[in-house]
């Protein structure tokens, strides 16, 4: 039984992960921007065994509310041991290249809002000496590609930030998990043609659940993405820059 706070609770990956924890009677503090979708997710978790579900409606870009939301989760759940940050958006790369305001908003959603929430929870977890901080990055954060380097840069920033956080918090018993999914069939990728590299949210969230329980540091999901990205990262820049990726 865990006490979980989830930002981006209406995301397909967050919902499928939360269902796995609901089965053992976990308690939840859910944050998302869409009130109706959030209510539906909360009802679903109650039916599946969650012993307490509290919700808060907030946009990830409401930076000034992040600290109060984290504090609210501690109060509502009578303590907190797991934070999952799952909100995200897939930017229109071309639009970001034309308009820096668009680029900045995408970077704020995918990087700075995640980093902000992690920072508030990290400080409280460090004080109490336990807890799991989990954020969903992406294989896209492992190497910049012309087709999506704004998204990739944001996910890469989160991964490096979490690496430092993990190093900082290791000595005080706090677990920091970076999840790096490959292609997953969710509303975010609804417009993409699907192929053999694609996974279902259920496949990926089985791995997220296991990685939280086993206190892993970084997981690629499905696991075949680890060697694939290892090869991609090893391609020399002089060659990589010539590829149309």
Ligand X SMILES: NC(=O)c1ccc[n+]([C@@H]2O[C@H](COP(=O)([O-])OP(=O)(O)OC[C@H]3O[C@@H](n4cnc5c(N)ncnc54)[C@H](OP(=O)(O)O)[C@@H]3O)[C@@H](O)[C@H]2O)c1
> Which positions touch ligand X (CB under 6 A)?
8, 10-13, 32-34, 37, 59-61, 86-89, 109, 136, 138, 181, 183-184, 186-189
Half-sphere CA count of 148, side-chain side, radius 13 A: 16
| Catalytic residue list contains 220 | no
Spatial distance between the Cα atoms of 72 and 68, rounded to a whole number of angstroms? 6
* Of 71, 32, 79, 34, nearest in space to 52 by CA: 79
Q: How far is the CB of 178 from ligand X (least distance, A)?
A: 11
Q: How far is the CB of 175 from ligand X (least distance, A)?
A: 19
DSSP one-letter code for 197: T
Spatial distance between the Cα atoms of 115 and 205, rounded to a whole number of angstroms? 22
Q: How far is the CB of 9 from ligand X (least distance, A)?
A: 7
Q: How far is the CB of 102 from ligand X (least distance, A)?
A: 13
Q: Which is nearer to ligand X, 51 or 92 (CB)?
A: 92
Q: Which is nearer to ligand X, 51 or 230 (CB)?
A: 230
Structure tokens at 8: 């981006």
| Segments in the chain forming alpha helices (H) | 12-22, 35-47, 66-76, 93-98, 100-107, 113-128, 149-169, 201-213, 225-234, 237-240
Q: How far is the CB of 98 from ligand X (least distance, A)?
A: 20
Is residue 28 within 8 A of residue 4, CB to CB? The reply is: yes
Please give the span between the terminal C-alpha atoms of the chain, in angstroms, as a whole number.
Answer: 43
The dihedrals phi and psi of 234, each to the nearest 5 degrees, come to -80, -15
> Which helix H or strand E contains 111, and what residues bound it?
none
Q: Annotated catalytic residue: which of 107, 151, 161, 183?
A: 151
Q: Which is nearer to ligand X, 174 or 184 (CB)?
A: 184
Q: Which is nearer to ligand X, 51 or 203 (CB)?
A: 203
Q: Which is nearer to ligand X, 19 or 87 (CB)?
A: 87
C-beta nearest to ligand X: residue: 88
- Report the catalytic residues: 151
């Amino acid at each position: 039984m865990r006490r979980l706070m989830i930002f981006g609770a209406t995301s397909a990956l967050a919902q499928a992960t939360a269902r796995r924890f609901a089965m053992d009677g976990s308690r939840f503090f859910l944050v998302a921007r869409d009130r109706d979708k959030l209510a539906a997710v909360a009802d679903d978790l109650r039916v599946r065994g969650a012993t307490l579900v509290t919700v808060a409606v907030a946009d990830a870009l409401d930076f000034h509310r992040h600290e109060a939301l984290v504090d609210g989760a501690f109060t509502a759940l009578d303590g907190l041991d797991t934070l999952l940050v799952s909100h995200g958006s897939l930017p229109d790369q071309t639009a970001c290249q034309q308009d820096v305001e668009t680029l900045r908003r995408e970077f704020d959603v995918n990087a700075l809002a995640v980093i902000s929430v992690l920072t508030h929870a990290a400080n409280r977890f460090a004080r109490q000496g336990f807890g799991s901080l989990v954020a969903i990055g992406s294989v896209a954060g492992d190497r910049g590609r012309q087709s999506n380097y704004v998204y990739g840069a944001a996910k890469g920033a989160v991964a490096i930030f979490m690496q430092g956080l993990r190093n900082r918090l290791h000595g005080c018993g706090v677990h920091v998990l970076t999840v790096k999914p490959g292609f997953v069939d969710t509303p975010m990728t609804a417009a993409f043609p699907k192929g053999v590299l694609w996974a279902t949210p259920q496949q990926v969230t089985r791995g997220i659940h296991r990685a939280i329980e086993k206190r892993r540091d970084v997981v690629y999901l499905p696991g075949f993405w680890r060697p694939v990205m290892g090869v991609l990262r090893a391609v020399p820049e002089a060659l990589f820059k010539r590829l149309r990726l």
